[in-house]
Structure 1
Amino acid sequence: MDSQSYKTISANAKTVNKEWLVIDAEGEVLGRLASQVAKILRGKHKPSFTPHVDCGDYVIVVNADKVRLTGKKMTDKVYVRHTGYPGGQRFANPADTLKRKPEFLLQHAVKGMLPKTRLGDALLRNLKIYAGAEHPHTAQNPRTIKLNEIK
């Protein structure tokens, strides 16, 4: 066999095949869901994965308000942010955040699992999170998947 016949094929923006996927987050553990969503956004589930290209799929997550955390994390975990002013440190736990803005929990978890570069910002724009069961992306004909289908 001719060893020169093997070529490494790198994906680029023109050759990437992107599709729309719907994931139901009802009853799913937050971190496990976030890691699977990050893997799909990055494109690591595809054989044509290229590290420096946005080759992942668009992901729509519904029922984000029904996500769960294990142990006592719902009350004991603390999200810290700062307003930028002296004494402006603010604290919130997931229980309060889930009531006010349920999409934030999953978005924050997925963002931490993506690259901290312009590519990571572009990948995060491919994620659409909705608190309820409805989403406005029916025109894209998204395919519903189960998390255990992904390898």
Structure 2
Amino acid sequence: MKFTQMAKANEIERDWIVVDATDKVFGRIITEVATLLRGKHKPSYTPHVDCGDNVIIINASKAKFTGAKIEDKNYYTHSGYFGSTKTHKMSEMLEKNPEKLYKLATRGMLPKTKLGKEMLKKLKVYAGSEHPHTAQIKG
């Protein structure tokens, strides 16, 4: 009889994957990254174990946006106090802090649990083409 093998946390090998965002559509990048962070591209995928890879996004500020999202889309924050809702335009977030924009979008595609938070910690975003993780990347 054959049984499905469940991956254990100590048996998982994590790779470092570099994604170049230059002239790619923002949403397509995020779905690809969410799949890599979850580990769904691996044959040993197990839903209750973090078996994804570490992902580095370079040239984050050079991604393309379809439609009028760049001007029209807003992100909202609320501290819990009355009247404390703040609005941030997507274009401003892309200029000031693209890392936060990419992490917010990716977080929406990951599980809303402790496991999802652990997966999101493996995402590194850089606006330029330089990153400090060259030692981790194989060949």
Query: Which range, TM-score by smaller chain?
Result: over 0.9
Kindly provide the CA deviation profile for residues 61-109 of structure 1, in whole angstroms up to 9, marking residues without a partner as x. Answer: 1011111211000001111111333211111111111111111221111
Tell me how far apart the structure 2 counterparts of residues 70 and 88 of structure 1 sit (CA, whole Å): 31
Query: Which residue of the partner structure matches residue 59 of structure 2?
Result: 63
Structure 2: segments with no counterpart, 5+ residues: none
- Runs of 4+ in structure 1 deviating by more than 2 angstroms, as ranges, are 83-86
Structure 1: segments with no counterpart, 5+ residues: 144-151
Matched, 1:104 2:92: no
Pick the structure with greater CA Rg. 1
In the TM superposition, what is the alpha-carbon distance from 1:142 to its structure 2 partner?
4.9
One-letter code aligned to 2:14: K
One-letter code aligned to 1:118: K
Q: What is the percent sequence identity of the aligned residues?
A: 50
2:130 corresponds to which of 130, 134, 140 = 134
- Decide whether the 8 Å contact of 1:65 with 1:103 is kept in 2: no
Between the two proteins, the alignment pairs up a number of residues equal to: 139
Matched, 1:47 2:16: no
Query: Which residue of the partner structure matches residue 79 of structure 1?
Result: 75
- How is 1:114-125 mapped onto 2 (pairs within 5 angstroms)? 114-125=110-121
TM-score of the two chains, using structure 1 as the length reference: 0.88
One-letter code aligned to 1:121: K
Tell me how far apart the structure 2 counterparts of residues 127 and 102 of structure 1 sit (CA, whole Å): 13
2:5 corresponds to which of 1, 6, 9 = 9
Further displaced range: 26-35 or 48-57: 26-35
